[in-house]
Amino acid sequence: MAAAAMAPKLSASSSTAKELTTHPIVTGSSVLAVKFAGGVMMASDTLASYGSMARFPDVQRLRQVSDGVIIGASGEMSDFDFAMRLLDELRVESECAEDGAELDAGEVHHYLTRVMYNRRNKFNPLWNQLVVAGTKDGKPVLGVVDQIGTAFEADFTATGFGKHMAVPQMREHWRADMTEGEARELLEGCMRVLFYRDCRTINRMQIAKVTATGSVVSPAYSLDTEWSLKSFKKEASPEDGSW
């Protein structure tokens, strides 16, 4: 089964002329991100699933592109690696110019949008939802782009299952003047709910922060959980039919 599933991606040298990515294989679930006063904070777990199997529990899905830009990825992890390699080549080229004109988050987001759109046009997409964070002229920048190149900026955003479960919480609690601590509390709250409800999540997460002075990705850590909540214990009841 594994071999059959992997075949379309790996057998470029087989008899057919060219084979394309038609579906993702090793995937990451949600990425969450919010702007706060002076920066952007991002969170995701460290799991890369193989179908419904929790296959790779220690994959960094939040990565630094440069001092001032971080990226989080949902979707196919090998495609994410490829996108990061493109960005790394750009970064090296840019640093060789030694002119201090490094790419900012807006430019990285825009570049990825062009890459995603071009790959979509070849029907060979990079199967990711990428969240790009950084600052521009001291103001936080938060952009999202998906596997067909749909790109937008937002004050807060979530990909994957987080679109259903985290965005409503963010809508309720997000403020433009949030402190870093409040942003972290909000993201961890969302991650906890996702761990409770998303089957493709594990309780091992990272957060990343980017401000005008630079960026940092945390080591992986776990959240405290509370499984004795009444709604978790309640068996299927006549009122709501499920927990």
Q: Given the rule CB under 8 A, which residues bind other proteins?
A: 1-5, 20-25, 51-52, 97, 99-101, 103-104, 106-107, 109-111, 113-114, 116-117, 120-121, 123, 125, 127, 144, 147-154, 157, 163, 167
From the list 65, 44, 206, 43, the residue with the least C-alpha distance to 134 is 65
Nearest distance from C-beta of residue 234 to other proteins, angstroms: 28
Tell me how far, at minimum, the Cβ of 159 lies from other proteins, in Å: 10
Establish whether 21 is a catalytic residue. yes
Tell me how far CA of residue 124 lies from CA of 46, 85, 115, 179, in angstroms: 26, 17, 11, 41
Q: Tokens for 228?
A: 């004795």
Q: Tell me 218's DSSP state.
A: P
Sign of CA dihedral 96, 99, 100, 104: negative
Q: Which CB atom, from 60 or from 165, has the smaller least distance to other proteins?
A: 165
**Measured from the CB atom, is 157 or 211 closer to other proteins?**
157
Distance CA 108, CA 159 (A): 18
Indicate the residue among 137 and 224 with the shorter CB distance to other proteins.
137
Indicate the residue among 4 and 17 with the shorter CB distance to other proteins: 4
Render the burial of 151-166: b for 16+ CB within 10 Å, e for the rest. beeebbbbbbbbeebb
* Least Cβ distance, residue 59 to other proteins (angstroms): 18
Give catalytic residues, as residue numbers: 21
